[in-house]
Structure 1
Amino acid sequence: MTSETGTKRIEASERTLEILGFLAGRERTTATEVAEHLGVAKSTTHYHLKTLEDAEFVVRDREGYRVSLNLLTMGHDVVSQMATYQAGKAKVDELARETGELCILMVEEHGYGFYIYDNRGEGAVNFDTAGNRKRLHDNALGKAFLSQAPPERVDEIVDRHGLPATTRQTITDRDRLDAELEQARSEGVAFDYEEQLNGLCCVAAPIRDTHSEGVSVRGAISVAVPASRAQDEYFTEELRRAVSDAANIIELDLQEY
């Protein structure tokens, strides 16, 4: 019976998390829509939703259910405790001031890149990036991270998430991706040319933890520019040096955490 009960509890947890994931992608959702999505009885769905509502993870109004902002608070609390965030935030701010562009700090989790902080200089493109989750193969931040990750970790991520196309420029071939990662590993930075978003180009450098035994990668930092500003040495040389220097300083600061 203990084993049976334990299994039922795990299934209930999985169902609750599935509900949260379903709600998160919608402005409002009715209990009927949730039940149809899950393929379970409406009464069972109501039980899960009521539990989530009582715990203040879900909000209900006349239009239906939505995820509570408590999850936003939890996410902010997690990010604020990360050493990469603590060491990198000020450097992102400085890099944005110096370049006038959009600068982003990323960490990896579950094979995705999470944008945990950004700042915009005076001439930056106006994209809201902080809090976004992205794949790793179609952007400079992700490729910078992958270039320093162990080969078996890269295999694991690609096997799990694949190499889907986001734009016509996205790398969808594993051999080509490996060649780019090798180049990024050699040069210390990674580039993307409209591979994640049409009209946007990025240069990024990995943030490594050189203080621990061996070398591990903690995240990446990037500068993003309109494609019109990625045609000359400003992008390939000036911004490359700036983002590489920023990553190096963050690595040094990480030794204090």
Structure 2
Amino acid sequence: MTEAKNPVQAVQRSLGIVDILRDGDGATVTEIADEIGVTKGTAHCHLATLEENGYVIKEDGEYVLGLRFLDLAHYAKDRIDVSDLATTEVDKLAEETGELALFTVEEDGQGVCLHTADGEEAVQTEIYVGYRNELYHTAVGKAMLAFMPPEKRDRIIEETEFEAKTSRTITDEATLREELEQIREDGAAYNHGETIQGLVGAGAPIRDQDGTLYGAISIIGPERRLDEERLKNEIPEMIQQAVNIIEINLTSL
């Protein structure tokens, strides 16, 4: 993530409060003051300013995030030209496969989920709209890494702090680059239980005729249902059909 050269402390504190309220589903003034290391009076000043502008509200002695963030979220999502097209196709994929389908974009070197759709048998995960994840261990992340401009890919990989999420997670640059080369040849990326043990997936990038990368879509499910045969053949074919429809419609945007 890009770091500010001259961060404004007051802004950082307010943003820190927003994160605390999100992560804890609300908090008291005392809890927030202790968390960010300021006096209760300072914490209250930040909260009062956020409350005055509709970003937080007070309920039963605790502060929680306000619905003003919904307006910002809709605006941010609408900036993505392909969002509506991808949403429609992801919904179809979830219905056809019965599994969890996602639309993800890259921002600041991370994957950001912009839409999820649950099929009838979809697994329940922590993934939600706005959920962020590293690119190196997910199908959508690797799909985007493989097809983004080389300079950007190199920078992201060099800044990646590899961590073994499971025993199958790629944990070194050389192995990742080798897999990305294979993804460019195949047009599809895979997650073989690299993020959550027993949960697998396939993904493919969304690009226009000039090769500009818009994001990626994927299907995720348990290994017992998405066995190797289905994961490598049926699922990628369905994803690619959805991607083709999106990419054809991109020309009219």
The answer, yes or no, to whether TM exceeds 0.5 is yes
- Classify 1:100/1:62 alpha carbon distance in 2 versus 1 (closer, same or farther; 3 Å): closer
1:157-185, CA deviations, whole angstroms, 9 ceiling, x for partnerless residues?
23444222222221111111111111111
Q: C-alpha displacement at 1:222, in angstroms?
A: 0.6
Q: Which aligned segments of 4 or more residues in structure 1 are displaced greater than 6 angstroms? A: none
One of 67, 75, 80 as aligned partner of 1:69: 67
Alignment gaps of 5+ in structure 2: 1-5
Cα distance between partner residues in 2 of 1:114 and 1:21:
16
Greater shift, 185-194 or 30-39, is seen at 30-39
Alignment gaps of 5+ in structure 1: 1-6
C-alpha contact 2:166 2:193 (8 A) present in aligned 1: yes
Q: C-alpha displacement at 1:40, in angstroms?
A: 2.6
The percent of aligned pairs where both chains have the same amino acid is 36
C-alpha contact 1:230 1:236 (8 A) present in aligned 2: no
Cα distance between partner residues in 2 of 1:127 and 1:172:
23
C-alpha contact 2:20 2:26 (8 A) present in aligned 1: no
Cα distance between partner residues in 1 of 2:9 and 2:66:
22
One of 234, 237, 244 as aligned partner of 2:233: 237
Amino acid aligned to 1:184: I
The equivalent residue for 2:3 is: none
Q: C-alpha displacement at 1:37, in angstroms?
A: 2.6
Specify the SS of the correspondent of 1:228. Answer: coil
Aligned-residue CA RMSD in angstroms? Answer: 2.1
Map 1:48-127 → 2, pairs under 5 A: 48-127=46-125
Q: C-alpha displacement at 1:101, in angstroms?
A: 2.2
Cα distance between partner residues in 2 of 1:16 and 1:126:
32
C-alpha contact 1:26 1:66 (8 A) present in aligned 2: no
Cα distance between partner residues in 1 of 2:127 and 2:31:
30
C-alpha contact 1:167 1:196 (8 A) present in aligned 2: yes
Specify the SS of the correspondent of 2:201. Answer: strand
Q: C-alpha displacement at 1:137, in angstroms?
A: 1.1
The equivalent residue for 2:132 is: 133
Specify the SS of the correspondent of 2:17. Answer: helix
Is residue 2:176 matched to residue 1:177?
yes
The equivalent residue for 2:37 is: 39
The equivalent residue for 1:165 is: 164
Cα distance between partner residues in 1 of 2:27 and 2:215:
35
Specify the SS of the correspondent of 1:35. Answer: helix
Specify the SS of the correspondent of 2:120. Answer: coil
- Classify 1:40/1:154 alpha carbon distance in 2 versus 1 (closer, same or farther; 3 Å): same
Q: Count residues with an aligned counterpart.
A: 247
Q: C-alpha displacement at 1:81, in angstroms?
A: 4.7
- Classify 1:130/1:84 alpha carbon distance in 2 versus 1 (closer, same or farther; 3 Å): farther
Q: C-alpha displacement at 1:191, in angstroms?
A: 0.3
One of 28, 31, 47 as aligned partner of 1:30: 28
Cα distance between partner residues in 2 of 1:128 and 1:16:
25
Cα distance between partner residues in 1 of 2:174 and 2:12:
36
TM-score, structure 2 normalization: 0.88
One of 220, 224, 227 as aligned partner of 2:216: 220
Greater shift, 195-204 or 54-63, is seen at 54-63
Is residue 2:252 matched to residue 1:256?
yes
Specify the SS of the correspondent of 2:135. Answer: coil
